[in-house]
């Protein structure tokens, strides 16, 4: 299995999944059809599946045009969000198999950014949409802070070598906020340097490994004493559990950093 980024809009990634032994392929979160069609044409690939993580337009805007162009394509997505183009509604723990590709993924329900957001886990990778970003996490829009915290807790427990494919190139800004939370972190300073170098050369900073996120992403470090202390200082009160620490970090970033 190969996974490649197709850039869309300002900073979106549409992930293209291919295999050497077939012309069938899949894309994740096609917000725009243009970058997908142009690479599929060039390489004579046939789109057999679309995986959707959530309802936002920058993840779904290309689906109608892709369905028109590749009439048999299956569209996998959460059934509890308003995504009209879904042909295979998915739910938590469901196993899906990508048509013509002999690749299986497990659906993880990870609400918070939206109420029905899902991720796709399998073959050593996680497509996590706008829930977990490299160095950060998504905003809480139509879900709740408690849901988002629980979703991040769930991701934290996956195998640390899992490669995380999120949907936006936000890493540089995220790492900057991480250093507000943990200004002493040497490993975070190193990450900042390598991210800056990558961005300068227009090299994607995604995927990252879960281990790297566990070491440097404040939103996955809500059980670390120095992260708790920083969040408590911002909140001006004691924080008693992961959800409270997460909520303080997220509000801190929303209000003072972004």
Closest distance of CB 199 from Fe ion, Å: 19
Among 74, 81, 130, 169, contact with Fe ion (rule: CB under 5 A): 130
Local structure of 255: helix, strand or coil: helix
Note whether 81 binds Fe ion by CB under 5 A.
no
Nearest to 94 by CA among 86, 85, 106, 84: 106
Contacted entry of Zn ion, Fe ion, none for residue 156, CB cut-off 5 to 8 Å set by kind: none
Q: Please name the residue that has the structure tokens 């470090």.
A: 221
Residue whose CB is less far from Zn ion, 56 or 191: 56
Contact set with Zn ion (CB under 5 A): 56, 130
Question: From the list Zn ion, Fe ion, none, which binds 81 (C-beta under 5 to 8 Å, kind-based)?
Answer: none
- Which strand (E) or helix (H) includes residue 213? helix 210-216
Q: Which region, judged by CB under 5 A, interacts with Fe ion, from 113-121, 129-137, 223-231, 236-244?
A: 129-137
Site string for Fe ion, 32-71 (x = CB under 5 A): --------------------------x-------------
Rounded Cα gap, residues 175 and 146, in angstroms: 23
- What region, left, alpha or beta, does residue 219 occupy, with left being phi > 0 and alpha being psi -120 to 50 degrees? alpha
Other C-beta atoms lying within 10 Å of the C-beta of residue 256: 10
User: Which residues from 214-233 bind Fe ion, rule CB under 5 A?
Assistant: none
Give per-residue burial for 92-102: e unless 16+ CB within 10 Å, then b: eebebebebbe
Spatial CA neighbour of 254 closest among 116, 130, 138: 138
How far apart are CB 52 and Fe ion at their closest, in Å? 11
Name the minimum Å distance from CB 100 to Fe ion: 28
191 or 250: CB nearest Zn ion:
250
Name the site residues for Fe ion (rule: CB under 5 A): 58, 130
């Amino acid at each position: 299995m190969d996974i490649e980024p197709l850039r869309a809009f300002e900073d979106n990634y549409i992930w293209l999944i291919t295999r050497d032994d077939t012309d069938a392929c899949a894309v994740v979160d096609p917000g725009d059809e243009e970058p997908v069609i142009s690479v599929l044409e060039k390489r004579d690939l046939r789109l057999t599946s679309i995986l959707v993580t959530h309802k936002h337009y920058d993840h779904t805007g290309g689906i109608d045009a892709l369905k028109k162009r590749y009439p048999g394509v299956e569209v996998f997505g959460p059934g509890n969000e308003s995504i009209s183009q879904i042909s295979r509604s998915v739910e938590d723990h469901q196993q899906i198999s990508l048509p013509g590709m002999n690749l299986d993924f497990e659906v993880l329900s990870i609400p918070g950014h939206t109420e029905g957001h899902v991720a796709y886990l399998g073959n050593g990778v996680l497509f996590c949409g706008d829930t977990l970003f490299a160095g950060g996490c998504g905003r809480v829009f139509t879900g709740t802070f408690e849901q988002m915290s629980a979703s991040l807790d769930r991701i934290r427990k996956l195998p640390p070598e899992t490669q995380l494919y999120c949907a936006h190139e936000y890493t540089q800004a995220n790492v900057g906020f991480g250093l507000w939370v943990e200004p002493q972190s040497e490993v975070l300073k190193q990450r900042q340097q390598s991210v800056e170098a990558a961005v300068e050369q227009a090299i994607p900073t995604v995927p990252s490994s879960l281990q790297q996120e566990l070491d440097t992403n404040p939103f996955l470090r809500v059980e670390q004493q120095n992260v708790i202390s920083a969040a408590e200082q911002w909140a001006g009160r004691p924080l008693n559990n992961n959800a409270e620490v997460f909520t303080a970090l997220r509000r801190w970033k929303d209000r003072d950093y972004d």
